[in-house]
Amino acid sequence: MADSAGSSRPSSTFDFVIAANRLPVDRVVDEDGNVSWHRSPGGLVTAMESVMADRDGVWVGWSGEAGEAPEPFDEAGMRLHPVPLSEDEVQAYYEGFSNDTLWPVYHDVIVPAQFHRKWWNVYREVNERFARTLAEVAAEGATVWVHDYQLQLVPAFLRQLRPDVRIGWFDHIPFPPVELFAQIPWRAAILEGLLGADFLGFQRPGDAGNFLRACRHILGMTVKGDVIHVGKVTGGHDVRAACVPISVDFRSMDELARTPSVRARAREIRASLGDPSLLLLGIDRLDYTKGIRHRLKAYEELLKDGSLDGADTTFIQIATPSRERIDAYIDLREHVEGAVGRINGNYSAIGSPAMEYLHQAYGREELAALYLAADVMVVTPLRDGMNLVAKEYIACRHDNGGALLLSEFTGAAEELREAFLVNPHDIVGLKRAILDAAHASPQERSRRMKALRRRVRRNDVQHWAGAFLDALEAAPNKPVRPVRKPTRDHTHEEH
Ligand code: GDG
């Protein structure tokens, strides 16, 4: 840890800094009112832990609770530095601009995006606050890794405050085609915010390509290969934008799924559903991008036309609660729950449900048992940056069993070519693919699963983090002089 020089700095600064909207922990209050922090599940935390193991690292993010931020503390082997958000900021920056403006535009406008000047202004303010915090905790010449669409203005704000640090940004979600991105009234300011980074990582080559095209068409920048020359905007540095697909912690998922308790639980899950001959599984945040409605429509039609027997088939849909105050999510929940009720009412038998729908969150062990129990994993997003569920399913299938049905519109489909690939908009094709996956011979399933496991084992989350940091280290050049603030996009005055 490098000791701080200035009195306004915290007691220490760090060589490796992560910024994400959320800290990797959840606040838990027990019955006696004692507060503790539980590490959130997920590959990102594991990957960052392994990256931090031999570095001096800090994670900057929101604690998940509106109001004053707790003091920095240590958890999960790293220093955590909370950034405060007021209740109004949570609504405008997080639920509003991030999840009701950017999220729909970046996912092909599956639902209409809302554009509000107030949301944008708060988004800017919160991004600036993150950048100021990062500038305080980063040591001289530190590496700063910024995550995701909530923090797109951080790179340029930070570059202005701390030209000495190396800045990378990773986009966990798709980057949209310029025709859709251009709808955003503040499109130029967003691009300029990102261009404060040295390296920008994307899930698919197509996402990086969309970003490069947006720089050319909206900002009129010179792009050579995957490098953008940002002479005017940020003091003459080059920025590289390339694809570095995220993955899962293959080894730990594989190990977990091999434990006797998880295997026993997998058998128990099947038995508790009346030992159906076919068990289908979906695990998603309850989000309109995930294509849950499409998969239920296909499933219902298969039951209706007699291709599947509801008394001998169960579809488990885990729909983890998500963004529950946003209208599009409220509508989706109503639709899904209506469909589940109808399917069960029409096709279940006592003790053999046609659908098991759970609007709850589960622990890792339970998820691993579900993956191990399922004959067909149904992953049908209309658009998804990567989709880690697909890769987790593969990591858990050490028996080389099971079949993965995967939408072409996920980042994962670029790599996982041995899956049963589908276009979820094509309900006839989706029905056919469900039947193909369900009826594939054990030899065919095993052949496909072995190939998929080889790929995910090699390209795991540690590989991803290493590849990102290597690319950041090798990024074209460091800017040598301070740069100006990202401009306010004046188009917002008209909206
Ligand atoms: C974004 C991008 C990209 C789900 N329910 C529970 C639970 N989960 C875990 C899964 C998986 C993760 O949440 C979901 O990851 P996905 O990738 O499927 O989807 P998003 O949440 O939309 O993630 C996506 C990802 O970022 C990473 O870059 O792949 O495209 O949209 O790990 O297992 N975990 C636990 N209980 C649950 O009930 N413990």
What value does the mean pLDDT of the chain take? 92
pLDDT in tens, 248-294: 999 999 999 999 999 999 999 999 999 999 999 999 999 999 999 99
Distances 452 to 173, 338, 392, 398, 445 between C-alpha atoms, Å = 22, 35, 11, 11, 10
Residue with the smallest CA separation from ligand 1 atom 27 is 172
The amino acid present at 93, given as its one-letter code, is Y
Task: State whether residue 225 is helix, strand or coil.
Answer: coil
Q: Please report the pLDDT score of residue 42 as a whole number.
A: 65
Q: Please report the pLDDT score of residue 382 as a whole number.
A: 98
Q: Please report the pLDDT score of residue 478 as a whole number.
A: 55
Catalytic residues: 172, 384
- Sign of the CA dihedral 35, 41, 45, 49? positive
Q: Please report the pLDDT score of residue 235 as a whole number.
A: 61
Mean pLDDT of 343-351: 97
Residues constituting the chain: 495
Task: State whether residue 180 is helix, strand or coil.
Answer: helix
Beta strands 237-243 and 403-407, pairing class: unpaired
Alpha carbon of 203 to ligand 1 centroid (Å): 14
Segment 446-449 long-range contacts (CB within 8 Å, at least 24 positions apart): 446/400, 446/401, 447/418, 448/403, 448/404, 448/418, 448/419, 449/394, 449/397, 449/400, 449/401, 449/402, 449/403, 449/404, 449/418
pLDDT in tens, 445-481: 999 999 999 999 999 999 999 999 999 999 876 544 4
Mutation pick for ligand 1 pocket among 387, 393, 410 (CB with most ligand atoms within 8 Å): 387
DSSP characters over 41-63: PSHHHHHHHHHHTTS-EEEEEE-
Mutation pick for ligand 1 pocket among 22, 256, 285, 388 (CB with most ligand atoms within 8 Å): 388
Question: Which domains are assigned to the chain?
Answer: 14-243 (3.40.50.2000), 250-458 (3.40.50.2000)
DSSP characters over 59-82: EEEE-SSSBSPPPPEEETTEEEEE
Task: State whether residue 172 is helix, strand or coil.
Answer: coil
Q: Please report the pLDDT score of residue 48 as a whole number.
A: 80
Residue 384 pLDDT exceeds 60: yes
Report how far residue 487's alpha carbon sits from residue 105's, in angstroms, rounded to the nearest whole number.
22
Structure-model confidence comparison of residues 437 and 39, the more confident one: 437
The lowest-confidence range among 26-30, 59-63, 224-228 is: 26-30
- pTM (2 decimals)? 0.93
The strand pairing partners of 397, in sequence order, are none
Report how far residue 196's alpha carbon sits from residue 169's, in angstroms, rounded to the nearest whole number.
10
Distance of CA 200 to the CA centre of its chain: 16
pLDDT in tens, 122-179: 999 999 999 999 999 999 999 999 999 999 999 999 999 999 999 999 999 999 999 9
